[in-house]
Every structure is written in structure tokens, then in C-alpha cells.
Structure 1
Amino acid sequence: MVSKVPVIEQCVVSSNVRKDIMIEDLAGYLERNKKLVFPHRHNFYHLLLFTKGGGKHTIDFETFEVVPWQIYFMSPGQIHTWSFEGEMDGYVVNFDRDFFKTFLLQPDYITLFSFFSGLVRDEVFVVKTEERSAVLALFERLRRQTVNVDFARVSLLYIFHLLEQQRDRPAVLPEDTYNHTLLRNFLNLIESNFRTLRLPKDYAALLYITPNHLNALCKQVLGISAGEIIRQRVLLEAKRLLAIKDYGISEIAYELNFNDNSYFTKFFKKGEGITPEEFRKQHT
């Protein structure tokens, strides 16, 4: 079973010849991609800063009201759609999965930032007043100098640090390297195995730690148990597949390794509060 949610590639939405990074003003980006309002995924990192406009945008079925100076970050694979209103302005930055890979000693360095944790609740926030002029100047310089790829990398990292420091709360992921690596590896393992591995003890064994250690770390950092993190990922995939009309409930249950439709329906209703059929009616 192959997902039919369209995957948008960098070259499709970019206006320049570079495939690894694109920085553009929002008005021009929306004009070129005005038909891209259906639910879709990206195979690249995507961030957008609003300086003007309204409406809504949705990331993995969580909807946000657009306000000036809101910024959002998206990681590859997340489902996204928008419904903007009025005159829109701001900046869009798209960059490849491996954009920083050969530039930094730590290949997954950007996952240290809370807004690249893969958790929607950390990906959308408003830039504080005192940081706006600096952020705006950096985005504008980036837009004008995309030919210098190292300048773009350094500038983006500086913007990331600036935005991380202005958050109202500390980063979601722990600062010490060991626990950060452990939690990041756990989330990566879930991404690869959530269809077949559903128990914390399975992941703890792959991480060479005890289930109690894994559960304590998840509760300390994310505020929920390891089992709940796994269930939320399965539920998210179910919602993504339900948004595609072509898939029957039985197909989705099979894809997610449930024994039968009734077990899948009970699991979904417990997590979402409504049945899969009701969810589909709301989102298609």
C-alpha cells in the first residue's frame, strides 16, 4: 500500500536553479504555487515567516490562525495545507534534508532546536517584538544572497539560535548530549517501526536501555509516556491515510498492522474521540 498524499519536491516549488535551498518572498511564492492548496507532504524542510496577512494553515491536522510575525517550521513528511486570506507577505525558506550534513560535524545538529523536534506543538510560534527587526534583516539578506550557499547555512543557523533563545519556554529536547541523542534515536526508531513495534520494551531493547529508563526520559522531557508517544505516531498515520478517500478502513487497518477493523476503530476512537469514518467526513 503506497500513500497517495502528494509529495512535493523542492524543484517543483522553487523559482531558482538551486535544488538544495530556496529563499523567496511569500507573495511571489504563493503566486507561483497558488494551486498548491490541497493536502500535501514535502521531501524537504520548510519554514515560513508571516509579516502580513490572515487565514489558516494546518500541519498534521492541527490548524493555526495566521497572525503577523508568526513563524512555522515543517520537517519532511508532514502533511500541510493552507487557506490564506487578504494580502500576504513574508518569507519562505525551503532546504534539502542534507543541506547541513557536510557543513557540520554533527549531521543531525538541527534536531537540537525545539522547532525541528517533529512535534507540531513546537513548530509554530510568534517572533517576539524585540527580535523582529534582526530576523527581518537576516531573511532579506538571505533572499538576496542565495548564490552563496555557505552564507545561507551560517545565516540560517544564526536565525535558528536567535529564535530558540526567544522561546517562552525551554527547548523540548534536553540539552545534555546523551539524553538528546537517546530521545532522538527513540523518535527515529518509532518513525521506522511504528507499524510493527508497539511496545516501549521493544524500543528500549533496540536502544540498550531499560523500559523504565526510556519511560522516565519521555515523561521528563515530553510530559507523556513512551507508550503514548508510540500510540500518537500510529494515530497520526491513521489520520493521514484517512484523509485520502481512496483508502478503505480495512485497508488502513491492514497497513497499520491491526488484526481487524473493530480493533482499529476502538484504537482510533480512544485516541481521537471520534470514529475513523467521522474523522474522514470532517477532513475530506
Structure 2
Amino acid sequence: MKNDIPVYDISTFEEYKNAGILVSRFGHYSKQYLHLHSAHRHSFYHMVCFTKGSGLQTIDFKNYPVLPGMIYFMTPGQVHSWAFESEVEGYIINFSENYFKSFLYNPLYLENFSFFDEHSGDAVLVLPEQTMTKVVSLFEEILHEGKESRPFDADLVKLLMLNIFIQVSRGLSLKQQPQTNSYNQTLLKSFKKLIETNFIELRFPKQYAELLYITPNHLNALCNDLLGISAGQLIRDRVILEAKRLLINMELSIAEISEKLAFSDPSYFIKFFKKQVDSTPDKFRKQDK
């Protein structure tokens, strides 16, 4: 079986592999790992804050400008690339999925932050000036802790990182999003989790409704109320995202991608993709080159 696009583990960064974390000034990182400018995936969490520079970055086939004051968060499995137009500076932290699990009583704590949900729309942000000042100060403290070995330095780095997450989240709260039923939000989060682990095998809302112990009508109404799309469309969007991730690997044929996504026939996959994207898989692949 041919490999997918490059997937980098935290162990790729040898000097940090034992700690499960990489912390660096972005300019140094960008020059040291030039191959990471091309499309690739991570098996770890990835956070970048830009303080200087311009250009374009692509995260799961959506383009975002590179701007001073911008911070973005990526979860394991997402595809991204950079195309810088000028010298870029800032901060980067990569950390493994298990980095906080032995430190926090609640192993799902990061799920409290909307920017670690790739579907939330909060993963790429331009920070308010006051928040940016606080965040830059915290990044500098983290870099300082890495210069020498001192008691509890690893724990302090985790605390400083959590402080960054909290400061960014507080900045987000200024958007004053309307209050929604917490039960419905929890149910939607559970539905998204189930899609993430089952979208290849389970394609119909009724299958997920059974797992959630609710009716398909309830699930569909929930998605329409909170997201403005149907439950079925949310499932189809996840299938299409994975198809796009696979299509940028030029070594995989359309038939192989169809098989990976459990379509019974390549022609059915092509029809499905064209209906959702308004482009054939082959045209999409050529456009993304």
C-alpha cells in the first residue's frame, strides 16, 4: 500500500522527543525545517503565534493570511502548509497528545477550549492587542524555562501553556456568543467525536442517533439549530475533508482513495465528490498542486 502524505510525529524533532514538546522562535524553526512548508500532517498538537511577516497558510484546504498578532491551533491529523512572502517571526509550540494527560486530573481538559475543535471556527485568530501582549510574555517565559534545568521546570512550562490557552479563550469570550443549551452542546460534541472515529464505516445520521440514544429527527434538529446544517451534511463534510487530504498525495490513485474511504466503486466516489465539491477528484487534485 502506498503511503499517504507525510505525517510527522513529535519524535521527528530529536532534541525534544523525550519531553513530548518542541518550543522555538518561529523564524528559527521555519528555516530549520524547510520541508514543513509543504503540505503535511502532524500526529501532535501545533500552535503558532506570529509577531512579524506576511504570506499565506493553508489549513485543511482553507487559506488564511499570515498577520502579526495572529495565533492558530491545530489538532492531530490536520493538513497544512505555508507560503511566506516576507521574513516571519513569532513562536511555535508542538506538543504530543499525551503531554498534559499525566499532569491534569481531567484528561479531556483541552476540549474546554473551542480553538482545539477544528470545526469551531476559532482555531485561527487575530488577538486583541492586550491579549497579544500577555501571550507574548508567556511565550518568552516558556522559552526562558527551556534554557536551563531547574526544579519543576517541566511543570511550569505546562502551567504557562495553560495560561496562554486561558488568555486566548478569555479574548474569545469578548465575542459575546449567545447562550445555548449546555445539554445540546454536549450532545453535539459527542456527535462530532463519533463522526471523527466512525465516518468511514457509518454514513447515516440514524446510525449515530442510535449510538447517542436519541432519534434521527432530534439529531438533525440539533445540528440545524446549532450549526445551520443537517446531521447528514456534517457526516458528508468529514468524508470530503478526508478525501481532500488523501487527494493531495499524488501517489494514490482515485481507486485507492475510493477504497480507503470504503466506497463500493470508484465511480460512486467520483459522483459523491463532484456533488459535494462541484469538482471531480482529478480536477481538485490538479488545482491543489
> TM (normalized to structure 2)?
0.90
Q: Which residue of 1 aligns with 2:279?
A: 274
Q: Which residue of 2 aligns with 1:123?
A: 123
Aligned length: 283
> Alignment partner of 1:72: what SS?
strand
Greater Cα shift, 218-227 or 64-73? 218-227
Q: Which residue of 1 aligns with 2:70?
A: 70
CA distance in 1, matches of 2:190, 2:77: 17
TM-aligned CA deviation for residue 15 of structure 1: 4.3
TM-aligned CA deviation for residue 175 of structure 1: 7.8
Residues 69-108 of structure 1, C-alpha deviations (whole Å, 9 max, x = no match): 1111000011111111222110001111012212223211
> Alignment partner of 2:194: what SS?
helix
- The one-letter code matched in structure 1 to 2:165 is F
TM-aligned CA deviation for residue 121 of structure 1: 3.1
TM-aligned CA deviation for residue 18 of structure 1: 4.2
TM-aligned CA deviation for residue 110 of structure 1: 0.7
Change (3 A) 1:155 1:68: same
TM-aligned CA deviation for residue 188 of structure 1: 2.0
Residues 1:242 and 2:251 aligned together: no
Residues 121-166 of structure 1, C-alpha deviations (whole Å, 9 max, x = no match): 3211101112121111011101111461221222222211211121
Change (3 A) 1:143 1:245: same
> Alignment partner of 2:82: what SS?
strand
- The one-letter code matched in structure 2 to 1:140 is E
Q: Which residue of 2 aligns with 1:230?
A: 235
> Alignment partner of 1:235: what SS?
helix
- The one-letter code matched in structure 2 to 1:169 is K
Q: Which residue of 2 aligns with 1:97?
A: 97
TM-aligned CA deviation for residue 247 of structure 1: 1.4
Change (3 A) 1:127 1:204: same
CA distance in 2, matches of 1:180, 1:74: 21
Q: Which residue of 1 aligns with 2:82?
A: 82
Residues 1:197 and 2:202 aligned together: yes
1:70–1:127: 8 Å Cα contact kept in structure 2? Answer: yes
> Alignment partner of 1:224: what SS?
coil
Q: Which residue of 1 aligns with 2:154?
A: 149
1:198–1:230: 8 Å Cα contact kept in structure 2? Answer: yes
1:164–1:171: 8 Å Cα contact kept in structure 2? Answer: no
Q: Which residue of 1 aligns with 2:23?
A: 23
Residues 1:8 and 2:8 aligned together: yes
CA distance in 2, matches of 1:211, 1:256: 24
Change (3 A) 1:93 1:61: same
Change (3 A) 1:91 1:272: same
TM-aligned CA deviation for residue 192 of structure 1: 1.6
Change (3 A) 1:235 1:127: same
Q: Which runs of 5+ in 2 are unaligned?
A: none
TM-aligned CA deviation for residue 109 of structure 1: 1.4
Q: Which runs of 5+ in 1 are unaligned?
A: none
Moved over 6 A (4+): 171-175
Residues 203-259 of structure 1, C-alpha deviations (whole Å, 9 max, x = no match): 111122222232233233333221111000000111111111111112222221222
Q: Which residue of 1 aligns with 2:32?
A: 32
Q: Map 1:205-224 onto structure 2 (within 5 A).
A: 205-224=210-229
Q: Which residue of 2 aligns with 1:169?
A: 175
- The one-letter code matched in structure 1 to 2:160 is S
CA distance in 1, matches of 2:205, 2:235: 8
CA distance in 1, matches of 2:175, 2:221: 21
When the two chains are superposed, the root-mean-square deviation of aligned CA atoms in Å is: 2.2
- The one-letter code matched in structure 2 to 1:66 is V
Greater Cα shift, 125-134 or 6-15? 6-15
> Alignment partner of 1:36: what SS?
helix
